[in-house]
Amino acid sequence: MRLPDLPVRSVLPTVRAALDEHGSAVLVAPPGTGKTTVVPLDLADAVGGRIVVAEPRRLAARAAAQRMAALLGEPVGETVGYAVRGERKVSARTRIEVVTTGLLVRRVQHDPELPGTSVVLLDECHERHLDADLLLALLLDVRAGLRDDLRLLATSATVATDRLAALLGTGVGDVGGAAPVVTAEARTYPVEVRHSPPVRGERLEGCVARTIIAALNEADGDVLAFLPGAAEIGRVRTQLDLPDVDVVTLHGRLSAADQDAALREGARRRVVLATAVAESSLTVPGVRIVVDAGRSRVPRVDHRRGLSGLTTVRSPQAVAEQRAGRAGRQGPGVAYRCWPEHETASLPAYPEPEIRTAELTRLALELACWSTPDGRGLSWWDPPPDGALAAGREVLRTLGAVTGDGTVTTAAAAWRRSASTRGWRGPCSTGRPRSAPTPRPRSPRCSTARAAARRSTSTAPCATCAGHARPRRPGCDARPAGSPPS
């Protein structure tokens, strides 16, 4: 098999030698070098057994499998297949399987020995998603106790890999036993960075739309615009009246067919409005212009209200550089940043690991299923915060998901299966997993009841809510504070 002439080809012998000698390695390679597609194909020729590639997103998993199958001249499901939530295309002949990190976590929990698997490739580790950090910890535990022959290869687009190499080398963070770090240099074209900050009173969506229109007049090629979410994409799209340009969207809510269509080059110039799904593991053809809104949407916990959700934050410098690099894949490009130039130096260097900021009830459940409720028996890139993990374990105890000693109950196993097939969005304020069926009537503290309470004309707190700035709870028969007795 002849592999495409991509920069990662020059380090393939080094990667194979590192895995043969140490059983693990870290591959540092910027986007566009071929680490997601070329490396698994090369490993499939060099080793026996199945190669499992873990991707952080379903879109990236499907796109990687389709690209590798196209290089082999085969349909997906033959030598190369993929498995994501609700969809699987594999066969008995499949040697390379691309999966999402969440699905592989469930697979490891079900059968830790991973029979038939010889290499696990953890792609885009630098994004620091919660599932990816958990998967790394579980695989290190598997290799230490069950499968010392299991080879682990972690790939990253950034160079901050010292801790990752130490974990893969020894599993206990000993730098002296760190795994080899192999670096592939990208062949990229120069990218000119321009700044287009919002004018006074201008919303972010208006600034992005104005910048896109200016970029189409000032530079050649298609435009890839990064926005924090689907709502912002919709608002920007309504402001773009471009008769000779196709405006397409790319985000996780689209169907697989619409996502695949955004990854195909069109007959006319295109503007691709995308979320973070286009930052890595994907190549959007024809792009010579990048417009970066400078915002990302990440999971956060409101500890005051006990609620989790997505929060819009400023994108780190590493993310901004990675987005700008998309303009230099196929020729000299231009990157427009929708913030003042002097603010770049104040941006955080790297993304905050999700394990430090997210709601950890699901992680607590996974650890309980792994028979280490506090997680102290695992080797972590960054350990989960004690307070957040303790809060997650308390939610599980309240729900009856775990016993006093941390043993998982039958009900918890059912919730976990439901979350793996329909997605987990964390518990509501009562602690009930949103992915589990919710009985009626709803608790007055559920989100629906709170929304109804906010619409209520009464703002007097009830006796049980005294001292809290919240409306009287629906159906509460307690006497409002300060009201005369009935």
- The pLDDT score that the predictor gives to residue 429 is 40
287 and 200 within one domain: yes
461 and 396 within one domain: no
Q: Which of 157, 183, 209 is the last residue of a domain?
A: 183
Please name the amino acid found at residue 32: G
- The pLDDT score that the predictor gives to residue 417 is 65
232 and 146 within one domain: no
**How far is it, in rounded angstroms, from Cα 120 to Cα 104?**
10
- The pLDDT score that the predictor gives to residue 159 is 65
Domain interval for residue 100? 7-183
Residue 245, domain member (yes or no):
yes
Q: Which residues partner with 334 through β-bridges?
A: 192, 289
Q: Which of 354, 379, 403 is the last residue of a domain?
A: 354
**How far is it, in rounded angstroms, from Cα 451 to Cα 364?**
29
- The pLDDT score that the predictor gives to residue 400 is 86
- Over its length of 486 residues, how does the chain's per-residue pLDDT go in tens digits? 677 778 899 999 999 999 999 999 999 988 878 889 999 999 999 898 999 999 998 889 999 999 999 999 999 999 999 999 888 999 999 999 999 999 999 999 999 999 999 999 999 888 889 999 999 999 999 999 889 899 999 998 876 678 888 888 864 444 447 899 999 887 778 999 999 999 999 999 999 999 999 999 999 999 999 999 999 999 999 999 998 899 999 988 888 888 888 888 888 999 999 998 887 667 788 899 999 999 999 888 877 777 788 889 999 998 999 899 889 888 899 999 999 999 999 999 888 899 998 889 999 999 999 989 888 889 999 899 998 899 888 888 888 888 877 788 887 777 666 655 444 444 444 444 444 433 333 344 444 444 444 443 333 444 344 434 444 444 444 444 444 444
Q: Say which CATH number the domain at 32 has.
A: 3.40.50.300
- The pLDDT score that the predictor gives to residue 305 is 74
380 and 270 within one domain: no
**3-class SS of residue 315:** coil
Structure tokens at 382: 């960054």
pTM here is: 0.81
238 and 330 within one domain: yes
Q: Is 65 in contact with 74 (CB distance < 8 Å)?
A: no
Q: Is 295 in contact with 204 (CB distance < 8 Å)?
A: yes
- The pLDDT score that the predictor gives to residue 484 is 45
Domain total for the chain?
4
165 and 67 within one domain: yes
- The pLDDT score that the predictor gives to residue 90 is 93
Residue 442, domain member (yes or no):
no
**3-class SS of residue 369:** helix
- What DSSP designation does 351 have? P
350 and 215 within one domain: yes
384 and 350 within one domain: no
Length of the chain, in residues: 486
- The pLDDT score that the predictor gives to residue 419 is 58
150 and 48 within one domain: yes
- The pLDDT score that the predictor gives to residue 376 is 87
Residue 369, domain member (yes or no):
yes
Q: Is 125 in contact with 156 (CB distance < 8 Å)?
A: yes
- The pLDDT score that the predictor gives to residue 170 is 61
Q: Which of 309, 326, 354 is the last residue of a domain?
A: 354
* Residue 230: HSE in the Cβ half-sphere, 13 Å Cα cutoff: 5
Residue 430, domain member (yes or no):
no
Residue 296 CB coordination number (10 Å): 23
149 and 71 within one domain: yes
296 and 395 within one domain: no
Query: Which residue, 282, 271, 279, is CA-closest to 245?
Result: 271
Residue 211, domain member (yes or no):
yes
Structure tokens at 446: 């559920």
Q: Is 152 in contact with 120 (CB distance < 8 Å)?
A: yes
Residue 57, domain member (yes or no):
yes
- The pLDDT score that the predictor gives to residue 266 is 82
Residue 14, domain member (yes or no):
yes
Nearest 5°: the CA angle 108, 114, 116 is 155
Residue 198, domain member (yes or no):
yes
312 and 281 within one domain: yes
